[in-house]
A and B are shown apart, each in its own frame.
Chain A
Amino acid sequence: MSDLRSSIERAAPRRKKWPWVAGVVAVLLIAASGFTLTRGGGSGDQAAGDGEPVRGGTLQFALIDYQRSPDPQWGTNYAESLIGNNITDKLTWQDPDTGRITPWLARSWEYNKDLTEFTFHLRTDVTFSDGTPFDSAVVKANFDQYVHGDQKLGILPNGATLLPGYVETRTPDRYTAVIRFDKPLASFLQASSFTANAQPGFLSLSTLKLSAEQRTDPTKVIGTGPFVYQSWKPQVSTVLVRRKGYNWSPPALKHKGEAYLDKIVFNTIPEASVRTGSLESGAIDATLDVGTTDEKSLAGQGFQIIHRAVSGTSIFFNFNSRLFPTNDIAVRKAIQLGWNREALRKTVLTDSYSVATSVLGPSVFGYADYSGSVLRYDPEKAEQLLEKAGWTKGPDGIRVKDGKKLVVKLLGINNLVVNKPAYESIQQDLKKIGVDLQLTVVPIPDYTANVAKAKTDWNITAANRSRNDPAVLNLQYSPLLGNGSYLGKDSTGVDVDEVTKTLGRLELTLDPTERRQYAKAAQDLLLDKYALVNPVYNPSQVIAQAKYVHGIVFDAQSRNHFVNAWKSNGR
């Protein structure tokens, strides 16, 4: 059959169309690729010096996350807290450099000796963007809903963990709000300035009446902030426009009047290479979530890198004090001493990050430096400690005691790009002193699911907690609260009461000298005496911006405020 067919076919005249078509396509392809190669680059707007701020213009900003709801009191990611900060204001502003609490919507405040009652005297000229006034009734309605939630409206108790023991807000007069707790809560003063996840930013009374579902209409979410919602498109972008008549930014920022920018577009771009490519091609003006590997090349192309360490605890290894083998203080101390900080700094971190020198970040009030004492690289001493405690090296180099291997199981989160390489660097160093550190570094939901079982399953949980107040140690480690190292009766060699009391004192005073002492005592206990934690590095938020962008502020929680931001070209 095929013979018959091919003979018929061969008899037909050949038409030579295909070579022509193929030729034309080939020429087009070559031309296109040549065009591609010769163009390119072409970024970098006209650079301008700082000088006087220019009003107007739209800032195209990129980040990895998006707001799942425009409600700023709800949220667990960076986009949510960052955008919330530009829609709402807080009672107080924490100075990012000194950690001091300074006025904002509250002009002044005082508290009782027990630190159970905080009286705030409010500004009288503040209004919401729908024109309604900001007063003590608004403060009360906000805090009540923030702490208790509202089941009928589907509003969760978002503020319950930030304000434990909240009793009520009293309103003796229109511009005085008294917030009461059932036990001393020194950290409340800092909480009143809190700008991170699920923040106490004030919403109008009309917004508070809306259900969670109704709050997904951004134009109905009303705050007092320097910007108001124009649109919210989940997964894609949030657009904010300047609030007309705004005149109450934190005095510490020294900004008068309305925001400089007309508009900010928060573009959600999940892919790192698309964020940097868009910055390079000028499609965006600035981007958050810059990867460690991109910092250098972007800086080389003339983009500015600005960053701030996340205030709170460092990225920590919390030791489980009940579980073999981390119930042995020699093992915990050996791990603190057994890894090379310098190698971590050189191979994994960039200049935007730093090696941890305490469990508190350096920007937190009360921070003390332990890099000269317990938090240093001293493998000989680490090995001595292990030998003395009866851990002898087995044939494979891993130490053994009573027939059991020195295997330490770590549970970590992979949400920060630096985490896994940092842990691997430590893993290699520890192997040399005979400690087998086994890493399980997983996404947040898997981590959360495992943390629930950490008491019995994991020797180390690795994470951090963002809260710019030394009381974060009490929240994280007190056996009555977070109990990060699972202290209990069977934690050998640890006086649990001592830990509870020492950490608890951080909530009992706001006197700077006393507080500094208590913070030092708490760090001594956690790092040195009981060695309950091995701090690793201080995470950072990193922004790359074009040269014509100025004035993006990192606050005390390393969230960004745009009231002061401007573009040289004003476009």
Chain B
Amino acid sequence: MLRYLALKAGRALFVVWAAFTLTFVLLFVLPANPVDLLFDPAELNTVTPEVRAQVAESYGFNKPVVLQYLARLGHALTGDFGNSVQSGRSVTATILDVLPSTLVLASGALVLALLVAFAIALVATSTRRPWVRNLVEALPSGAVSVPVFLSGILMLQIFSFQLGWFPAFGDRGVKSLVLPVITLAIPVAGPIAQLLVRSFATEFRSGYVTTSWAKGATRSGIIVRDVFRNAGLPALTIAGITFGNLIAGSVITETVFARQGIGRMTQAAINTLDVPLVQGVVVLVAASFALINLIVDLIYPLLDPRLRAALAVGSPRAA
């Protein structure tokens, strides 16, 4: 058990360190002299060597790359990723500023996505009409294949520009949250629903369900009492993918709806090559990703008795 814990935690730490190192290599070493990128390209040839040197020094770009790496790693361990090249604010503060709006958007979308996914799975399982089942089962792949960008614009056209029910941009309380949450929930709900539909179907055909039938339980009773509990658990296994979808979707959702947030900030930081900020965001995302997978790995044995038994026997790879 302890070995299992150490292994999983070690792997999570490795992922975060690797993300930090990889972004450092990609951003600081490969593309260009980072000092060049701080100037207006039209003025680049006019910048005097003294100014260039002064700017390089103020960001520490004049030191050897290895020293820069070690210094940055050391600071990062204390949560200090330096200052944004574009605003001068500390990276940590800049991220913490916009994190709440993304968290609100993402958790709202996640809750909605789960509701939609379970609803789809329940309908697909409980209906006795093949055409309804086929229609509902087609929804998840449809949800994944509609680009977030398109559904966002469509949503705005109808509910904001035509009907005027919701504001089209900015952060104005709950009202301006509705459309973005729906837009972001659609692609996130897709994979979850697909997984649930499949596991609902599998569980629905298993032996204990037949037993319940034989005991005279109703169809809805079986689905709610027996199938739901057993079939819902696998949704946890794709928590990582779900998180990824939320992050990727938030970049576009936040841009279309002109909202503040991590996704949009990341895009802006990449567009302006705000190196310290990009690195801060990448490490944050990698850390969250690793943490989520770690938590899933750790609580899964608690939820599934079969796994607990396997661990006790001492073969963690059975997970």
Contacts and interface: CB of A to CB of B under 8 A. Distances in A.
A is bound by B: yes
A99 interface: no
Contacts of B156: 273-274, 277
B32 interface: yes
A311 interface: no
Contact of A277 (B33, B94, B160, B218): B160
A161 B43 contact: yes
Contact of A481 (B45, B58, B256): B45
Given A443-B271, A448-B44, A465-B42, A283 B58 contact: no
B301 interface: no
Given A277-B168, A482-B46, A268 B258 contact: yes
Given A235-B268, A278-B161, A445 B88 contact: no
A377 interface: no
Contacts of A277: 156-157, 160-161, 168
B255 interface: yes
Interface of B: 31-33, 36-48, 51, 54-55, 57-58, 83-84, 86-90, 94, 97-98, 127-129, 132, 153, 156-158, 160-164, 167-171, 205, 207, 209-210, 213-214, 218-219, 254-261, 264-265, 268, 271-273
A5 B213 contact: yes
A281 B273 CA distance: 35
B79 to A, nearest CB: 16
A18 B47 contact: no
Contacts of A278: 161, 168-169
Interface in A442-474: 443-452, 463-466
A443 B273 CA distance: 11
B276 to A, nearest CB: 13
A452 B35 CA distance: 11
Contacts of A200: none
A4, A9, A156, most chain B CB atoms within 10 A: A156
B169 A448 contact: no
Interface in A148-183: 149, 151, 154, 156-157, 160-161, 164
A57 B252 CA distance: 33
Given A267-B169, A449-B31, A452-B32, A235 B37 contact: no
26 contacts: A39-B162, A62-B169, A68-B84, A69-B86, A69-B87, A74-B88, A154-B88, A156-B58, A157-B54, A198-B40, A212-B88, A235-B265, A235-B268, A271-B258, A274-B256, A277-B161, A277-B168, A278-B161, A445-B37, A448-B32, A448-B44, A449-B31, A450-B32, A451-B36, A475-B46, A483-B45
Nearest to B264: A235
Contacts, number: 193
A18 B40 contact: no
A348 to B, nearest CB: 22
Contacts of A390: none
Given A161-B51, A164-B48, A445-B31, 15 more contacts: A5-B213, A35-B163, A36-B163, A160-B47, A160-B48, A212-B88, A274-B169, A277-B160, A283-B168, A413-B41, A443-B271, A476-B42, A482-B43, A482-B45, A484-B45
A233 interface: yes
Contact of B168 (A2, A36, A154, A281): A281
B209 A5 contact: yes
B258 A444 contact: no
B273 A154 contact: no
A235 B153 CA distance: 19
A236 interface: yes
A22 B218 CA distance: 21
B36 A449 contact: yes
B163 A22 contact: no
Interface string A1-33: 110110011001010001000100000000000
Interface string A120-163: 00000000000000000000000000000101001011001100
Given A160-B48, A273-B153, A281-B161, A76 B40 contact: yes
